[in-house]
Amino acid sequence: MAGVTMRLKVSFQSVFGRRPLLSALLLGAIAACGFAPLQLWWLTVGCFAAWMRLVHRAPTLKAALWRGWVFGVGHFTINNNWFQHAFDFQDKMPPVLGYAAPVALALYLAVYPAIAAGAAWRVRGNKADLSYVLAFAAAWIVTEWLRSVMFTGYAWDSLSVIWVPVQPVAGIAAWVGTYALSGLTVLLAGLLLLVRGVPVAVGGVALVLAGLIGAQWFSYRADQTPVRTDAPRIRVVQPNVPQDARGESDGEMMLAKLSELSGKPGAAPRLIVWPEGVVRDFFEDGYPDYAYTADPFWIRWRMARLLGPRDMLLTGGTALQFDKNGNAVTATNSVFAVDPRAKIRGRYDKAHLVPYGEYLPVPWLLKPLGLDRLVPGSMDFAEGPGPLALEVPGMGDIGIQLCYEIIFSGQVIDPAKRPRVLFNPSNDAWFGAWGPPQHLAQARMRAIEEGLPVIRATPNGISAVIGADGRLIATVPHETAGAIEVPLPAAKPPTLFSRVGNWMAAIVAVLLAAAAIAFRRRGR
């Protein structure tokens, strides 16, 4: 067996040593297979381990930075391939630009793995030891958090999201959060570098898998609690409206489709939820006449007639803002609460807007180049005040996170008012095949972190009811018309992460860095 181990080492050196940048590119691309929809988490862990060895063997800091950056280019290009699909629906930009968009985005995002690689390389020893692995894990936490906040932030598919299908591991996020769990994932990958011998590696992996399967089974058994028959019910509507058929979402046709799927009132109160981006007519009162395509009360009445006396409706929509002369100057991407009397009982305005989607950065530069927003319309959207919980009559406090907002760990809850559930309406119709399952996985991580159920409603999938432990209670598949109606899942007590927030990432990063220093001094 020693001979097998030696041959593996020689093979690694021959394959990765001669073409280190190409090797880093391929490792980064293959590592993306651990995320949804493929969910080959073990492949991601293995690729990170090989990449960390490649970085350690870099002869100079510059070489280590290059190996980190190229790894990131491959990783983020594959992981964000769905971004191309958004350009298929634009009149002002040719669809061919979509093929360059994931690469262009990856060229920037790759800076963060490069920084992590460079920081770890600076403290390496002659051999890849525990101090090197600990330092790499700490650096990854810091750089992944930076990626989520710099230039408005892009937190899509943090490394820890690979664990969503493995509930016992994903459950660690309830204690330390997404970014710290990502660092612990790097730590796990790095420990593979310290394993000596193929039998030890194979045995260790088998033992870990057996433990995870057993823990998941016991966790599932312990969580079987009876559902109260008088609990409010959630009805999630998915009309299956593709992005290129958005003209159908105007007026009578769209309302008829949504009404058909909204069901009939029953004995228990219901909260009916409709997606983002399907009701395009304005239905708030008080706008100038020119703004309306239909009477706003008539639209709300069409909604209200679906509701029983104790039911409520939450729906995505758009609100306009006007200047003193009555001219529309901006809009908000919003969620409205409508009651059985056709009254609007609350509104949430999206706070974390998507650059190039809901607003165009530096328009004075980009518009002359022929670039525009991906979302139709002539106005940029305005920001809302931040995470808020709407007090919905009969339902309690409902937290709202519109579409992209759900990916930002530690930024989804109003700290002054913890809701009983999070509602995440989204328009994933322009996300291609990979985007919707990735978005769903990130919503499941927020449920785990906060100990709150999450309700997702999308035009064409994947809509879902997610339990407070991240489990999928019910779904409507991608590109399928349908509805879910289930009792409102119970929230868990506040998790450690929900109380401390992303300070947990800082705490874990400092502990890992301190351990790296201690082991390095002990080795010397």
Q: Is the peptide bond before 398 cis (omega within 30 degrees of 0)?
A: no
H helix runs in 32-60, sequence order: 41-56
What sign does the CA torsion over 298, 303, 307, 311 have?
Answer: negative
- Sequence ranges of the domains in the chain: 12-221+502-523, 233-487
Which one, of 490, 427, 429, 480, lies nearest residue 456 by Cα? 427
Q: How far apart are CA 253 and CA 246, in angstroms?
A: 11
Question: Per residue in 181-239, pLDDT tens?
Answer: 999 999 999 988 887 544 554 555 555 555 555 554 544 444 544 555 567 999 999 99
Neighbours of 250 (CB within 10 A): 15
What distance lies between CA 275 and its chain's CA centroid?
Answer: 17
According to DSSP, the residues that pair with 483 across neighbouring strands are 237
Superfamily of domain 233-487: Carbon-nitrogen hydrolase (3.60.110.10)
Decide: helix, strand or coil at residue 146: helix
Outline where DSSP puts E strands in 232-295: 233-238, 270-273
Token pair of 199 as six digits: 């039998």
CA distances from 461 to 2, 382, 433, 480, 523 (A): 51, 26, 10, 7, 53
Digit-by-digit pLDDT tens for the chain (524 residues) are 445 444 545 454 555 667 999 999 999 999 999 999 999 999 999 999 999 999 999 999 999 999 999 999 999 999 999 887 776 655 555 666 667 888 989 999 999 999 999 999 998 887 888 999 999 999 999 999 999 999 889 999 899 999 999 988 999 999 999 999 999 999 999 988 887 544 554 555 555 555 555 554 544 444 544 555 567 999 999 999 876 554 444 567 888 999 999 999 988 999 999 999 899 899 999 999 999 989 999 999 999 999 999 999 999 999 999 998 889 989 999 999 999 999 999 999 999 888 766 666 655 445 555 555 555 556 778 899 889 899 999 999 999 999 989 999 999 999 889 999 999 999 988 788 899 999 999 999 999 999 999 999 999 989 999 999 999 999 999 999 999 999 999 999 999 999 999 999 999 999 999 999 998 877 65
